Amino acid sequence: MALANRINVVGTDELARIHEATVQVLETTGVEFKSDDALALFRENGAEVDGHRVKIPRALLEKSLESAPSSITLWGRDKETTVTLGEGQTRTHVEPSNGCVFTHDMERGRRASSMADLIDFFKLAHQSPVCTISGAIPVEPNDVPPEERPLRIFFETLKHTTKPLKRNVQPAREIEEMFAMYELAVGKGFLADHPSIYASVNPLSPLAFDTEPIETIMTYARHNQPVTVLSCALAGISAPMSLLGAAVLQNADILSGLVLSQMVTPGAGVIYAPATAVPNMMTAQYVTGSPESHLINIVNLQMALELYHLPTRTMAGLNDAKVPDAQAGFETMQNLMQCMLGGAHVINECLGVLDSIMTNSFEKFIMDEEMISRVLRFMEGVNGIHTDLSAELIDTIGPQGSFLMHPTTMKNCRTAWRPTVSDWNNHEKWEKQGEEDAMVRANRIYKERLAACPESTLEPELERELSAFVDKRLG
């Protein structure tokens, strides 16, 4: 049986009050949409539009919440990797990090990332047992001209994973190209009834959507592909200092994106993604390790899980450490525990990420996998053999006896969770094995993983076809 409870920050009554405050913000303050297409759609659906400002009426909001699905089947190119997001999901799903500018490893330290680094992160994600969704842009390939990046990155994504995909905001034309390319691999017309790729879309908090995020929401909805609306407001900067005030603002941000999606295609998947942070108010800068941040986000998770019945997602493994040190460990574990136990269906920014999403580390990727696996195991709760109350066995063994030699112990001793990178040896054995710390062990593990990874997951003919597609588009 899973754990008896999720972490809740507020009671159900408070959720209703937050919802009412959100309706008030959407109806009276409204949200700005920098897109004529979106504004026209809002007008058609009965919203009051004044310039770019849209006042979303309660009825439209409620209708949209009604049509948004409570779970999404997200298909992998390899059908075995297909996942359910939202209600009915059996474990937390995990996405690679996204948006890092630098790559860090033990030997070379921090450097501007290259395409080679990006490919290595794709390979690690594909092989990772905890990572169930791949894609994104774990590090920016600074050695590829910016105009070539979208297609080249997507080509490498398809080459190096068969898992369901996460992508970022793009102009409509690029999204259409990407979907066409994906259907070269899975068959034309596949996407229309197989959600396979979701895009993470950020509102411009507070209460605004820029053109490309709007195009992304609308284009994905037209193709029946999900979006995840991720608000990353900063309490005291782009949201109120009040934690519940920030939760209301963030709720309004996310729900207005959801309404847009449902107006395009009722029933298109929307993943509710609260990721607001309490910043470093000394410098008014974004930081990720505050224990207060997820007091906001868990309230929003509660809104989605209890009131709206939506799939949820949040940035769960963040930290402000510059290298994979003790701070990286404790901030990451704090955030993972809070977000995963708060019930997020999908977690991201949790495989390798450092330095407030500036840097991605190969060694930290391996450490993060273990941290996530620890929490996943905890969340499984007591099940199987562990539900045996064992009174008879206790009687058999008696005072001063040993359970170590009982057959039930031998039979089950391998089912217990084991670490992948933590050292559980005694001091002598650790000394004998070279006194390695977690960084050194993680370095060895990630290199072994990369060495064992196939160069491509594509059939040669398909790979040539996709490569030709990219070359043709890039001239």
Partner 1 sequence: MSTNGWGDFSVTDPPGTVFGDSPEAKGGYTFLIGATENVRRLIMADLKIITDTLIAGDDEALVGHVRAALDDGIPAGTILSEALIAGMDVVGGRMETGEMFIPEVLMSAMAMGGAVEVLKPLLSDDDNLSAGKVVIGTVKGDLHDIGKNLVVMMMESAGFEVTDLGVDVEIDTFLEVIREKRPDIVGISALLTTTMPMMKSTVEQISEAGLRGDVKIMVGGAPVDQDFADEIGADAYAADAGSASKLAKAILA
- Residues at the contact surface with partner 1, assessed by CB under 8 A: 402, 404-405, 407, 409-410, 413-414, 426-429
- Minimum distance, C-beta of residue 93 to partner 1, in the bound complex (Å): 31
CA 380/CA 373 separation, integer angstroms: 11
| Cβ nearer to partner 1, comparing 436 with 471 | 436
Q: Which helix (H) or strand (E) holds 253?
A: helix 243-264
Quick one: tokens of 421?
A: 């990178």
> What's the min distance (Å) between Cβ of 416 and partner 1?
9
Residue (406 or 464) nearer to partner 1, CB: 406
Q: How far is the CB of 151 from partner 1 (least distance, A)?
A: 46
Nearer to partner 1, 152 or 444 (CB): 444
Comparison of 398 and 407: residue with beta carbon closer to partner 1: 407
Beta-bridged to residue 199, according to DSSP, are: 167, 227
Least distance from partner 1 to the Cβ atom of residue 422, Å: 13
Residue 326 or 413 having the CB closest to partner 1: 413
- Those residues whose C-beta lies under 8 Å from the C-beta of residue 179, and which sit 6 or more positions away, are 191, 197, 223, 225
The nearest distance, CB 419 to partner 1, in angstroms, is 12
Rounded CA-CA distance 169/212 in Å is: 6
Pick 4 or 413: Cβ nearer partner 1: 413
CB 263 within 8 A of CB 56: no
Q: Going along 282-370, which residue ranges are E strands?
A: 313-315, 346-348, 353-354, 359-361
Burial class (CB in 10 A: 0-12, 13-18, 19+), 324: buried
Smallest gap, in angstroms, from Cβ of residue 411 to partner 1? 9
Q: What is the dihedral of CA 144, 439, 367, 142, to 10 degrees?
A: -10
CB 466 within 8 A of CB 458: yes
